[in-house]
Amino acid sequence: MIGSLLPDRTTSASRLPPPKSTREYLSYSAITTYQSCPLRYYFRYVAGLPEKAVSSSLVFGSAIHRAVEHHFNELMAGNEPPTLDALIGEYDRHWAEADTQTVQFGKDDDVESLGKLAMKMFAAFQTSPLATPAGRIIGVEEELRGNILADCPDLLGRIDLIEETADELVVTDLKTSRSRWTRDQADDSAGQLLLYHELVRNFAPHKRIRLQFAVLTKTKEPTVDLHEVPVDARRIERMKRIVERVWHAVDSQAFYPAPSPMQCPSCSFREQCRAWAG
């Protein structure tokens, strides 16, 4: 307490008052980042500090997404589905663009072992119903932005796949996971798709919107499971209230650490967090 009363001559960014947020939009990942640790939100989205290290699982997931995106883009263009080699090529290109010096690999992971796993995952994807959508593809990695709450910034969403059938609009979000999801896991993650529902509902106002997660597992024998998320007006309203409260907390500069034995060890901002003086 005494030290806090002394003049502060440090120029460290961690000791400066947090700047007023100037963000013009919110994303679901930003919302969940604040929920898990408000100080991490500050370092990433307000102070804009670079992350010194990135988990290999994040790079791997992004590379899988890039290859699957290529698959659906080819279908949307009216072309034949890409070969397994073509998917691996997209996957490899993503890794080639990554700064491998900053990638933190898991205990039993390296670029080679992850590449072999990716090949098995793509093979599972190609034989799954997900790879051959029944509807007409109208959006791949589609970025949508809109205002869903009057006193909050726009919501920005990047939707992996949007299909249109005669009766409905199908919104799919792709996830990679170490194991197969349970119904509870899909339900716990439903908020993301429920918010996306609000962004796409004007696309086809007279059609039913179907929301689903496609979960591609990183298991020894990869699987592709589809989990439908029911459109529930009450839960959508609840998600809006969560967004509203998170934004009001951000706007009032309510930034503080939320120590967690699960998240802190892999956090890129551990040094800044330890130096942060409030």
- Whether residue 196 is predicted with pLDDT greater than 70 in this model: the reply is yes
Among 80-89, 204-213, 216-225, where is mean pLDDT lowest?
A: 204-213
Name the band, by pLDDT with cuts 50, 70 and 90, for residue 3. Answer: very low
Instruction: Tokens 């179907």: give the residue.
Output: 210
pLDDT at position 100: 66
pLDDT, average across residues 1-17:
38
Output the average pLDDT for the chain: 89
- What the chain holds in terms of domains, given with CATH numbers, is 135-253 (3.90.320.10)
pLDDT, average across residues 178-194:
96
- Whether residue 55 is predicted with pLDDT greater than 90 in this model: the reply is no
Comparison of pLDDT for 98 and 32, the residue scoring more = 32
What residue type is 234 in one-letter code? R
The pLDDT tens digits for 229-269 are 999 999 999 999 999 999 999 999 999 999 999 888 888 89
The pLDDT tens digits for 80-132 are 999 999 999 999 999 888 776 677 777 778 889 999 999 999 999 999 999 99
pTM: 0.87
Comparison of pLDDT for 12 and 223, the residue scoring more = 223
The pLDDT tens digits for 199-208 are 998 888 889 9
- Whether residue 9 is predicted with pLDDT greater than 50 in this model: the reply is no
- Whether residue 61 is predicted with pLDDT greater than 60 in this model: the reply is yes
Percent of the residues in the chain that have a pLDDT greater than 90, as a whole number: 74
